[in-house]
Amino acid sequence: MTTDPAHHGALNLALLRDRNDTAVLRAVRAAADRGTSRVELATRTGLTAQAISKITARLLADGLLTEAGHERVAGQSGKPRTLLRLVPGSRSALGAEIGRRELRLLRVDLTGAVTARAEEPIDPDGGPGPVLDRLAAMVRALTAASGTGDVLGLGLACPGPLDTRDGVLHQVTGMPSWHGLHLREAVRTRTGLPVVVEKNTTAGVLSRPGPDDRAFVHLGDGVGAGLVLGGRVQRGARTNAGEFGHQCIDPAGPPCACGARGCLEAVCLTALRAGRTGEAAAALAIGVANLVRLLDVEEVTLGGDALLADPEPYEGAIRAALAARLPDPRWQHVALARATDLAVPQGAAGLALARLFG
C-alpha cells in the first residue's frame, strides 16, 4: 500500500490545478448519466470554449472523464456534439464514523455511491490507540485490491466537541480518554491519507441535498444537531455549533455528563436506559420545536441508531410538538425526513470528495 503523503499530495495537486477544473467536474457530475457537451460546459461554468477544451483534455487524460456518445441539437446543422461523463470508479473516497460503540467505514465512488463497507464494535471505555489502529486496518482491507493511490482522502466523523480547524477532540461525552486527542494527525499518520475531520452531526446534515435552511438531529449514544443556514454549514466561532443536546429542558432533571442538569441529552438517554421510549421522544420533540422556532429551518432530518431503531414515536411526537407549540400554520409545513443508518459516514465521505468537486 502506498502511504507516502507526498504521493497523495502530488496526485491531488494534479487533480486540482485550479478552480476551473473543479467547476467543470462539478458540472459534469450534475449532468449524471445524461452526459454533457463542451458547449454546455462553457455555458454552465462561464468559461471560454478554449479553456473548456484544455480542461476536458486534461481530465480525459487523467481518466476522470470519458467520451460517451454524441447528441445532435435540434434545429442545428453540423457535427453532433460529443457528450462527456464522469468515470465513477476512476477515483474513490473513504468515509468513517467513530461512534461510542461502533466504527463504520465506507468506500464511495465519485458519484457518492457506496462500493464497500465495514463495521466493527469498539470498547467505549478503551483508549483511542486501539480504535485508530483498527480503523487503519479497515482502510487497508477496503483498499486492498487497488491500494490507496486512487483514494482522494478520508472523511472522519465523530462526536463533538471537536475543533475542526486543528482536528482536536475536547471532552466528548462518554469518551474521556479521547480528550485533547489530535485526531486528524493520528489518523493521517496511520493511513497516509489526507484526512478531514468533522462532527458526526455536521457530516449527517451534508449527507444529502436539501433546502438552504435545514437541520440534522441525531439521537444515538448522545444527542446533537448539524445545521445548514442560508445554504452554508454552521460551525460557529469555536467550530462547535450544534451542541443541541446540551440545551436545558428541565432544571431539576437528571445530571448530564457535561456537568449540568436537565440537558436534553441527559433526559433522553435516562429515559432510553429505562426503556421509556415515549418519554425520550417527548423530550426530543421539545428540543426540535425549540430549534425550529429559533432558527426557522425548512427541514429536519432525524438520524442516529437509537432513533432509527424505532422512528415512529419520535416522528409523531415531533409533529405534535410543532402543532402545539408553533400554532402559526406556516410552521406546520416544516418537513421531517428520516436519515439512513449510513448517513454520517456517507456525509464524511462527501467531505473527502469535496477535495475534487469543491
* Amino acid 157: pLDDT: 94
Give the pLDDT confidence of 53-80 residue by residue, as tens digits. 999 999 999 999 999 877 766 556 557 8
Band of the pLDDT at 2, cuts 50, 70, 90? very low
149 compared with 274, residue with greater pLDDT: 274
pLDDT number for residue 16: 47
Check residue 99 and report its DSSP letter. Answer: -
Q: What is the mean pLDDT of residues 297-308?
A: 95
Output the pLDDT for position 332: 64
Q: pLDDT tens digits, residue range 284-293?
A: 999 999 999 9
Q: Count other C-beta atoms under 10 Å from residue 120's C-beta.
A: 13
Q: What is the dihedral of CA 175, 178, 180, 186, to 10 degrees?
A: -150
**CA neighbor of 287 nearest in space, from 310, 314, 309:** 314
For 29-50, how does the pLDDT look when each residue is reduced to its tens digit (9 = 90+)?
A: 988 878 898 989 999 999 999 9
5 falls in which pLDDT band (50, 70, 90)? low
Residues 232 and 144: their CA atoms lie apart, in Å, by 36
> Hey, what's the cell of 74?
435540434
Q: What is the pLDDT of residues 245-295, one digit of tens each?
A: 999 999 999 999 888 999 999 999 999 999 999 999 999 999 999 999 999
Q: Which among 121, 117, 91 is positioned nearest to 345, based on CA atoms?
A: 117
Q: What is the pLDDT of residue 15?
A: 47
Strand order in the sheet with 36-37: 36-37, 81-86, 65-71
Q: Is 288 exposed, middle or buried (0-12, 13-18, 19+ CB in 10 A)?
A: buried
What is the mean pLDDT of the segment spanning 101-130?
Answer: 90
For residue 17, what pLDDT band results from cuts at 50, 70 and 90?
A: low
Please tell me the chain's helix, strand, coil percentages from 3-state DSSP, rounded to the nearest 5. 45, 25, 35
Strand 223-229 to 214-219 pairing: antiparallel
